[in-house]
Structure 1
Amino acid sequence: MMKLDSSISTPLYDQLKQKLREAIVHGEYKQGEKLPNEAELCDLYGVSRITVRKAIQELCDEGFLERKQGKGTFVMRKKVKREMVTVDGFTDFVRLLGKKPTKKILVCEEIKASQKLAESLQIEADAPVLRLLRLMYVDGQPFTIDETHYSLDRFPNLATHFLENVSTYDVLKNIYHVNIHAGSTHKVITVDPATSLEAEYLECKTGETLFNIDKIVYDENKVPIHTSHFKTPTAAIALTITT
């Protein structure tokens, strides 16, 4: 039995939801595969039917699962349409689509937090912050430029753990023991024309429309983990989520 931890603040349904989502992302439950029924999940995780139903419903709402009347609950197939702006990391997002994620680090440096950044991360102005700028690829094609900022007071020596194709969320979870709270983000989406440098990185035309996705990701205690700023061509998102 894979019992959940009732002693922590994260609700049991949220713990179950995270475990099932990880199992889907890492291929333990494959696209189109039927999940165990409610009774089996209750026995497996030591939870009630209400907990199972709530976790399943939220995963259905997020596009991971689908219910088929009289047949059960199944993992969504490739044509699942999930937003790039979800709380999940890039690696999990791309794996869910059955594609290969890779990354190239462009900048990894320590800076002082501006007033705006300090407010976003709930730290003091001029506090040390890691700025990480990466080019992200899907099946070898450039997909997005991702700029993130982390408090180095909270995550000391963070840069030493970042390799080009390591999931940052795996680093945060396994080394710093931080649980990213599903659905707990603040997001702002705008559009801008690509600069010549952005066009070079993303292999698109200068002036092509880019989605700018700004978000703050929080832990289970609603404390900011990091800020993120994505820049990606609108055509790239449409191609990625429908192929």
Structure 2
Amino acid sequence: MIPAYIQIHDQIKKEIDEGKWQIGQRLPSERDLSDDFGVSRMTLRQAVTLLVEEGILERRVGSGTYVAGRRVQEKMRGTTSFTEIVNAQGKTPSSKLISYQRKLASETECQQLQLTSKDYVISMERVRYADQVPLVYEVASIPEKLICDFNRTEITEHFFKTLTANGYQIGKSQQTIYAKTANERVADYLDVTKGHAILALTQVSYFTDGRPFEYVRSQYVGDRFEFYLENN
């Protein structure tokens, strides 16, 4: 026999899929829902907790439980800009530049970007948005010698488009993903609480000739963004 909380989980999910509950809509209280389903509040809470863990519902402290917005997805294959990813989801991308500086490449940047300790990089710190909702805090390092002929706007607002418009062919990327929690500074930028679940990503992007052109350290809000794999 299927447990009661699973049956409730399936029914609420079905109602969301059928449009009874819209994205962003607040659900009735646990007391009201438990009365509607004829179960204890503990059983109802089990069903809701499972839906929250699946990203279908979200709890807002002091406010209630809401139907979660659909997460922005990135396919883990090839190299795609953030703007292209967000546009493909039917959302409007934007970004806020926090810092932009020229500095000598660090040891890690030298290793990832095939530079020497005498080479300079441009380091950009940004928050990226989809429909004005903050999704990711990132720090990008780019070899200065690669972009010395580009203006700041071309680099900060549409870097990949600038590269392709100037004859560069973008190839593969290497990515590492791991889980962490947001520190106070990052949490403030992403409009979440300190300790919120974060998907951390490091990525090195390459031209088709094998030269690395960007090293990025990103922190995505775990319940607003997801990665998925696609195999040929």
Which bin holds the TM-score, normalised by the shorter protein? 0.5 to 0.7
Matched ranges for 1:161-240 at <5 A:
161-162=153-154, 166-175=157-166, 177-181=167-171, 184-238=172-226
| Larger CA deviation: 78-87 vs 103-112 | 78-87
The letter for the 2-side match of 1:235 is: D
Secondary structure of the 2:87 match is: helix
Equivalent pair of 2:170/2:206 in contact (CA under 8 Å): yes
Once the two structures are TM-superposed, the CA of residue 162 in structure 1 deviates from its matched residue by 3.6
Once the two structures are TM-superposed, the CA of residue 163 in structure 1 deviates from its matched residue by 6.8
| Structure-1-length-normalised TM-score | 0.60
Higher Rg of the two aligned structures: 2
Would the alpha carbon gap of residues 134 and 84 (structure 1) be closer, same or farther in structure 2, given more than 3 Å must change? farther
Matched ranges for 1:3-22 at <5 A:
none
Would the alpha carbon gap of residues 81 and 137 (structure 1) be closer, same or farther in structure 2, given more than 3 Å must change? closer
Secondary structure of the 2:223 match is: helix
- Partner deviation per Cα, 1:4-38 (whole Å, 9 max, x = no partner): xxxxxxxxxxxxxxxxxxxxxxxxxxxxxxxxxxx
Moved over 4 A (4+): 78-81
- Partner deviation per Cα, 1:184-218 (whole Å, 9 max, x = no partner): 11111112110111111101110011111001000
Matched ranges for 1:69-84 at <5 A:
81-83=73-75
Would the alpha carbon gap of residues 114 and 80 (structure 1) be closer, same or farther in structure 2, given more than 3 Å must change? closer
Q: Which has the higher strand share?
A: 2
- Structure 1's unaligned 5+ residue stretches are 1-77, 239-243
Instruction: Determine if the alignment matches structure 1 residue 109 to structure 2 residue 101.
Output: yes
Once the two structures are TM-superposed, the CA of residue 157 in structure 1 deviates from its matched residue by 4.5
State how many pairs are aligned. Answer: 158
Instruction: Quote the sequence identity (%).
Output: 18
Residue number in structure 2 paired with 1:89 = 81
- Structure 2's unaligned 5+ residue stretches are 1-69, 227-232
C-alpha separation between the residues in 1 aligned to 2:191 and 2:146? Answer: 36
